[in-house]
Amino acid sequence: MAEGMVHVVVNGKVELEKGKLTEVAAGRPLAHKPPAGTCS
């Protein structure tokens, strides 16, 4: 978990509250494939 994150809202639902995960799963992961040669 990233430090400093206190509250996170996804699609209008609280996912992280007071630094702790909630039982809510409002979003979905995004597939990301960086262009070749851009990551080391």
User: What is the per-residue pLDDT across 1-40, written as a single tens digit (0 to 9) for each?
Assistant: 557 888 889 889 999 899 888 998 888 888 888 888 887 6
Q: Give the pLDDT score at 14.
A: 92
Q: Give the pLDDT score at 2.
A: 57
Angle at 26 between CA 20 and CA 32, to 5 degrees: 95
Q: Give the pLDDT score at 26.
A: 86
**Contact of 4 with 19, CB cutoff 8 Å:** no
Q: Give the pLDDT score at 13.
A: 92
